[in-house]
Structure 1
Amino acid sequence: MSVFLLALVIFAIGYLINIFYITVLYHRGLSHGSVVMGPKLTKFLQYTGIWVTGIDPKAWACMHRMHHMHSDTELDPHSPKIFGVFGVAMEQLHSYENVLRQLIKKNPKFTRLVSDIPFGVSTLNYKRLWMLPYVLHLVLAVAIGFATGSVILGFAYYAGIMSHPVQGWMVNALAHRYGYRNFSTKDESTNNWLVSFLVFGEGYQNNHHARPKRTNFAIRSSEFDFGYGLCLISQKLGLLRLPNSSV
């Protein structure tokens, strides 16, 4: 196998792991309850989420719920209508940092939004050690580079496993600006087929905002949600359960 193909495989593995955590566990599980996670999986997510993605699970869920409450208004943490398509890239990071600070301070305006989540902000964030997951993955990337003699393979791993900021920008910016609409929602969410393909169904933002509790973000027969496929596989493996109304 050529170095280029191997780099694609390594990137895809890291990307898929990140996608599984974000779209299945953080989004459909913690944020909306459209997949049902048992106590063991919830505990597993509590301790591994930040180490795998670099993102605190509770803070992510809190910011996402704020997004649904205030979608495409001035209170939306990351709306292209307010911050511009490219401005969302940095604003989503600033908003995440602010949400995290408010949760650590136990600001009731924020904590009440995620009071149903049975764990707190990660200890790493309380101790201001948020950079450790990034360092860990950087070390792993360097190790892969040394072991294989290819810097490209190490970079491919890091780019895949730490891909959420790019994924988030595509969903939050492009799928709230470019695409078609199946539903007349109060926000400017759209369905963007390219973003949906790249981010496993997350680009069907108009469908999702119209029916946020629905596990399958695809509505039309021409739409396909790869993230829902991951949910079905996870259910087959006994990792989680899909409610009867998931389709």
Structure 2
Amino acid sequence: MSRKTAPAPVPPEVGQVRFDVFKSLWLWAMLVPGVLFGIPSVTPATLTVSLVMAFLTLCLGHSVGLHRGIIHRTFEANAVVRGGLLYLFVLSGLGGPLSWARLHAVRDHWQNQRECPPYFAYRHSLVRDFLWNLHYRFDAADERALARLPPGVFEDRWLRFLERTWPLHVLGLAAVTFALGGPGAVAVCVCARTAGGILGHWFVGYAAHVWGEQRQAVPGATESGTNVWLLGVLSFGEGFHNNHHVHPGSARMGMRAHELDLGWGSLRVMEACGLIRSLRAWHRPAAG
């Protein structure tokens, strides 16, 4: 009796999914010392610094700066503000900004098709997603999906510099942290925070496609995302993913009054301070 083989993550004409040694080592090099040495070293000071850094790097850097600012261009900012937000993203330790933009564009393209490769569709287990997303990389065979990104992204010299050098900036932050607070501070504020950011981003991405509420489906799409209230709040709005799939060009992801979107709140404060302009939020929050 023959055994059924699992489908390939992507067909050859779409691309290739292969093990990424550096990606895997980076996660575990942060996670192991973060757990073994970070947890025993937690103090009120290191915990506070770590939480502040998480807000700066994941909220302002990733959600606001890269995701809403570069990938979806939901607001405009001058070069200094824009560059500063992207530098905060790099300090999150999640990876290079151009790699993230490229994968996001290709994933969005396939999720909005009726026939979506397994790698981009959430029809597999949490364990398989953990392996695929945190230990493997996707190399596209056809990059026409990159046309979804705003023009000039891959020609931006600051983005290209950060893409080439992003691990060095995280290690530089670790060196400064060591000088100011010692090895315990590095384990908490750099290792544990980075590992938590990587695992948290992955888990929110999985949960906000598999569990939660889907108020509206995207016509013709394989994936429309879901809204998971608690994860939406903790992820600065990213967990309100059904809202984002339906309205990808809106800077506001929490559409209803109870959907606390800290990324949107940060953008409103920045707009009031004159740091950004042309903020796009296409839909008013619904009642309830």
Percent of residue pairs bearing the same amino acid type: 22
More divergent stretch after superposition (162-171 vs 10-19): 162-171
Name the TM-score, length of structure 1 as normaliser: 0.77
* Alpha-carbon offset, residue 135 of structure 1: 4.4
More divergent stretch after superposition (234-243 vs 50-59): 50-59
2:147 aligned residue: 112
* Alpha-carbon offset, residue 91 of structure 1: 2.4
* Alpha-carbon offset, residue 218 of structure 1: 1.3
Cα contact 2:96–2:162 (8 A) shared by 1: no
2:250 aligned residue: 214
2:64 aligned residue: 24
Cα contact 1:88–1:172 (8 A) shared by 2: no
1:80 aligned residue: 122
* Alpha-carbon offset, residue 214 of structure 1: 1.7
Cα contact 1:63–1:77 (8 A) shared by 2: no
In the TM superposition, what are the counterparts of 1:50-89 in structure 2 within 5 Å?
51-54=90-93, 55-71=95-111, 74-75=116-117, 78-81=120-123, 83-89=124-130
Cα contact 1:31–1:62 (8 A) shared by 2: no
Which 5+ residue runs of structure 1 have no aligned equivalent? none
Q: Say yes or no: does 1:152 pair with 2:192.
A: no
* Alpha-carbon offset, residue 43 of structure 1: 5.0
Q: Say yes or no: does 1:122 pair with 2:164.
A: no
Cα contact 1:79–1:172 (8 A) shared by 2: no
Aligned mates of 1:95, 1:114 — CA distance in 2: 23
In the TM superposition, what are the counterparts of 1:80-99 in structure 2 within 5 Å?
80-81=122-123, 83-93=124-134, 98=139
Q: Say yes or no: does 1:134 pair with 2:173.
A: no
| 1:207–1:124 distance in 2 versus 1, CA, 3 Å | closer
Equivalent AA in structure 2 for residue 137 of structure 1:
V
* Alpha-carbon offset, residue 119 of structure 1: 4.2
Q: Say yes or no: does 1:171 pair with 2:213.
A: no
Q: Does the residue aligned with 2:256 lie in a helix, a strand or coil?
A: coil
Equivalent AA in structure 1 for residue 230 of structure 2:
L
> Which has the larger Rg?
2
Q: Does the residue aligned with 1:112 lie in a helix, a strand or coil?
A: helix
Cα contact 2:240–2:253 (8 A) shared by 1: yes
Name the TM-score, length of structure 2 as normaliser: 0.67
1:245 aligned residue: 282
Q: Does the residue aligned with 1:181 lie in a helix, a strand or coil?
A: coil
Count of aligned residue pairs for this structure pair:
232
Cα contact 2:244–2:253 (8 A) shared by 1: yes
* Alpha-carbon offset, residue 240 of structure 1: 1.4
1:38 aligned residue: 78
| 1:199–1:117 distance in 2 versus 1, CA, 3 Å | farther
Aligned mates of 2:259, 2:48 — CA distance in 1: 26
Which 5+ residue runs of structure 2 have no aligned equivalent? 1-40
| 1:155–1:36 distance in 2 versus 1, CA, 3 Å | same
Cα contact 2:217–2:224 (8 A) shared by 1: no
Cα contact 1:66–1:77 (8 A) shared by 2: no
| 1:180–1:246 distance in 2 versus 1, CA, 3 Å | closer
RMSD (CA atoms): 3.2
Q: Say yes or no: does 1:236 pair with 2:272.
A: yes
